[in-house]
Amino acid sequence: MQVLKFGGTSVGSIENINNVKNIINDGKPKVIVLSAMSGTTNALVRISNYIKNGRPEKAIEQINELHVHYFKTVDSLLTDKALNQDVKNYINTIFNFLVDSTYESHSILLENKIVAQGELLSTYIFNCFLTQEGISSALLPALSFMRIDKTNEPDFFYIKQHFEMMFNKVPEATVYITQGFICIDDAGNISNLQRGGSDYTATILGAAINADEVQIWTDIDGMHNNDPRHVENTRPIKNLSYDEAAELAYFGAKILHPQTITPVRADNIPVRLKNTMNPDAHGTLITNNYSENGIKAIAAKDHITAIKIKSGRMLNAHGFLKKVFEVFEVYETPIDMITTSEVAISLTIDDDSNIDKIVTELEKFAAIEVDTNQSIVCLVGHSIVHHPDTFKLFQVLQDVKIRMISYGGSNNNISLLVPTVEKVATLARLQDYIFRLIA
């Protein structure tokens, strides 16, 4: 069995929904994971923020706009009168809930319920569309099986057991549709896998059912060698290893949720990235194989905070690093990059929710400097640190404002820390020099 995930753009227009239908309509049983239609989750986040900021009238305005948009979409998609009415009734239930939410006071639970509605809408609509088109499908509600535990990790045992239970209730279907992104937490409340989380849903499910392959269908022909939103002349990469793809996803390649690769790598389940608008393009195949060495791709991650920790007493003092790490451990804050000298450590974090407390603790034994608005620019490739081409990187560095560099932490990754205002220029410069010089 294969798991196919379709992102927001793929289900965001009538034309693309028809593309999705053609892609999945080969008679083979499969699991389909859908995102919300493009723009919907952002609109739901805005609604929640209006409620939080005491602007219910603005929330209602946004709700009404979205409601009209959904009715229009359904009128274009569902010509079958009964199905059209059925879907409109469902849409009305959802929008009544949204309107009722504007009378409530804001909480994280309410916010999670609000942002969950996008995937509930897209899957309901798509399921009815397949019925209209004569394709035998069943809707398996993600909130009945997709659960995370206290540490926000997927509860694989529960997911497998409950997915199979739901699946076995409708053995006759060919296409099993479920919602990406949304889940329940350990207390049974509606939660989610963070923005972009439908990719993660697909690989969690892929691992749970031991799928033959997980396909992530999106609006671009696979993982490119640099961020196409910021850099010209990027090109798709045909093959990536799990390690390479995981590094790129973690360090900001938006095409994949940062955790996407984690569930499937141990079981060696291939992940294929494909373009819904151009299904014949090869896309990117992610497996255990390393196809070639050297720099393959560059990605960047924003909202990084750099912390410099300086101690006069670090000189020859063992135990200093331990003291520093303990502070980050207490506040459950992962460190991404780290460099050391005799008298100072520089490190980076992307979760700055406890930064004030961390700084207060560190200041008890060191002088601290904090720089916000930094970006990690990450160069990825198998054995990149040993490859002769990699040294061309050093020809480029004179033109780039680098705050930190991490080389050799892993064989597959070289990370540069730059101020975010320099990010786009850095990506472009690296693209120009490295891929032109390597080519």
Binding site for Mg ion (CB under 5 A): 7, 196
Number of residues lying near ligand ADP (CB under 6 A): 18
- Strand bridging mode 367-380 / 338-340: unpaired
* 12 lies in the site for ligand ASP, by CB under 6 A: no
* 80 lies in the site for ligand ADP, by CB under 6 A: no
> Which partner in ligand ASP, Mg ion, ligand ADP, none is near 195 (CB below 5 to 8 A by kind)?
ligand ASP
φ, ψ of residue 11 in degrees (nearest 5): -115, 15
Q: Which residue has the tokens 């984690």?
A: 262
DSSP state, 293?
B
* 422 lies in the site for ligand ADP, by CB under 6 A: no
Q: Which of 46-54's residues contact partners 24+ apart within 8 Å by CB, and which partners?
A: 47/98, 47/101, 47/102, 47/114, 48/106, 48/110, 48/111, 48/114, 48/115, 50/102, 51/101, 51/102, 51/104, 51/106, 51/110, 51/114, 52/106, 52/111
> Which partner in ligand ADP, Mg ion, ligand ASP, none is near 118 (CB below 5 to 8 A by kind)?
ligand ASP
Q: Which of 4, 8, 129, 296 binds ligand ADP (CB under 6 A)?
A: 8
Q: Which of residues 253-272 bind ligand ADP (CB under 6 A)?
A: 253-255
Q: Please, what's the b/e burial string for 24-56 (b: 16 or more CB within 10 A of its CB; e: otherwise)?
A: beeeeebbbbbbbbbebbebbebbbbbbeeeeb
In the bound state with ligand ADP, the residue whose beta carbon lies nearer, of 254 and 429, is: 254
Rounded Cα gap, residues 388 and 385, in angstroms: 9
> Which partner in ligand ASP, Mg ion, ligand ADP, none is near 197 (CB below 5 to 8 A by kind)?
ligand ASP
Burial of residue 198 (number of CB atoms within 10 Å: 0-12, 13-18, 19+): buried
Beta bridge partners of 379: 298, 414
Listed ranges 170-178, 189-197, 331-339, 370-378: which one lies at the site for ligand ASP (CB under 6 A): 189-197
Least distance (Å) from ligand ADP to the CB of residue 159? 21
> Which partner in ligand ASP, ligand ADP, Mg ion, none is near 272 (CB below 5 to 8 A by kind)?
none
Listed ranges 162-170, 196-204, 238-246, 373-381: which one lies at the site for ligand ASP (CB under 6 A): 196-204
251, 227 contact by CB (below 8 A): no
DSSP string, 60-122: HHHHHHHHHHHHHHHHHH--SHHHHHHHHHHHHHHHHHHHHHTTSPP-HHHHHHHHHHHHHHH
Among candidate residues 417, 382, 367, the one with its CA nearest the CA of residue 397: 417
* 195 lies in the site for ligand ADP, by CB under 6 A: no
> Which partner in Mg ion, ligand ADP, ligand ASP, none is near 220 (CB below 5 to 8 A by kind)?
ligand ADP
Q: Which of residues 97-156 bind ligand ASP (CB under 6 A)?
A: 118
Rounded Cα gap, residues 219 and 286, in angstroms: 18
DSSP state, 398?
G
In the bound state with Mg ion, the residue whose beta carbon lies nearer, of 183 and 358, is: 183
> Which partner in ligand ADP, Mg ion, ligand ASP, none is near 305 (CB below 5 to 8 A by kind)?
none
Q: Residues 34-53: x/- map of binding to ligand ADP (CB under 6 A)?
A: -x------------------
23, 279 contact by CB (below 8 A): yes
Least distance (Å) from Mg ion to the CB of residue 12? 12
Q: Which of 3, 17, 20, 36 binds ligand ASP (CB under 6 A)?
A: 36
* 223 lies in the site for ligand ADP, by CB under 6 A: yes
Q: Which of residues 53-72 bind ligand ASP (CB under 6 A)?
A: none
Provide the binding-site residues for ligand ADP, judged by CB under 6 A.
Answer: 7-10, 35, 196, 218-220, 223-224, 227-229, 253-255, 299
Provide the binding-site residues for ligand ASP, judged by CB under 6 A.
Answer: 7-8, 35-36, 41, 118, 180-181, 195-198
